[in-house]
Amino acid sequence: MRKTLDRDKMPRHVAIIMDGNGRWAKKKQLQRIKGHEAGIKAVERTVEYCAKTGIQVLTLYAFSSENWRRPALEVRALMKLLRLFLRRETARLIKNNIRLQAIGQLYRLEPVVRAELKKAMDKTSSCTGMVLNLALSYGSRDEIIRAMKHFFQELESGGKDLAALTPETFHDYLDTAGLPDPDLILRTGGEYRLSNFLLWQAAYAELYFSETLWPDLAESELEEIFLDYQHRERRFGMISEQLS
């Protein structure tokens, strides 16, 4: 069994549910927000490692459409951290040729946050390396309903035919239009659920659950996870013999 990464078999799209910041802080008897701050460092490490190993798309679940239900103070602190991250990281993204993108109900973000996000996306728009896709105020069910509404509007206005709706064309209406489906979905923090993340796109994703709390995720574990992915057989409904 290989012990080093095969660069020809890297997942094209890695999507991560970055969970466990609050518990990380609690364990250290710190406030939850300190966990989110430490989480940003793990984001920086992960972005760098994924870009270095040839991942094409990295989607990070940073804030769910359900996370608005958290205490206002925590929501405010998370939004502030997001702004700081965008402001601080843009130069490094450009340097590493990384293009920033976002999915989710971006209209729900505060105007100042939206402006910072737009600025970062504009500045990195001509980068041709990895795509860093931030899921912000993102929820999969909401995304699917928005996509359906968009399709039905086109149907009503006569621009579309119902027969044109297929799993492939439906993807063009989702926030992830233009991106490949995730090959690997990783959740840290020891919970075994998807929490409304990429439900449609996850159809054939390989799932990996780590007990590590997000701020503690190191490069070495990411390497182990990618190695584990490379040892899996993705059959897409077929049988082993058909794959070679």
Task: Provide the binding-site residues for Mg ion, judged by CB under 5 A.
Answer: 19
Catalytic residue among 19, 175, 181, 183: 19
The string of DSSP letters for 47-73 reads HHHHHHTT-SEEEEEEEETTGGGS-HH
Among 31, 53, 105, 195, binds ligand IPE (CB under 6 A): 195
Task: Tell me if 139 contacts ligand IPE by CB under 6 A.
Answer: no
Among 40, 43, 78, 109, binds ligand IPE (CB under 6 A): 78
Nearer Cβ to ligand IPE (191/211): 191
Does 172 participate in catalysis according to the annotation? no
Residue 59 makes CB contacts below 8 A (sequence gap 6+) with: 13, 14, 15, 16, 103, 133, 134, 135, 176, 179, 182, 198
Size of the residue set binding ligand IPE (CB under 6 A): 17
8-state DSSP, 138: E
Does 196 participate in catalysis according to the annotation? no
The string of DSSP letters for 13-54 reads EEEEE---HHHHHHHTT--HHHHHHHHHHHHHHHHHHHHHTT
Task: Tell me if 208 contacts ligand IPE by CB under 6 A.
Answer: no
Active site residues: 19, 67
The binding site for ligand IPE (CB under 6 A) comprises 17-23, 61-64, 67, 78, 189, 191, 193, 195
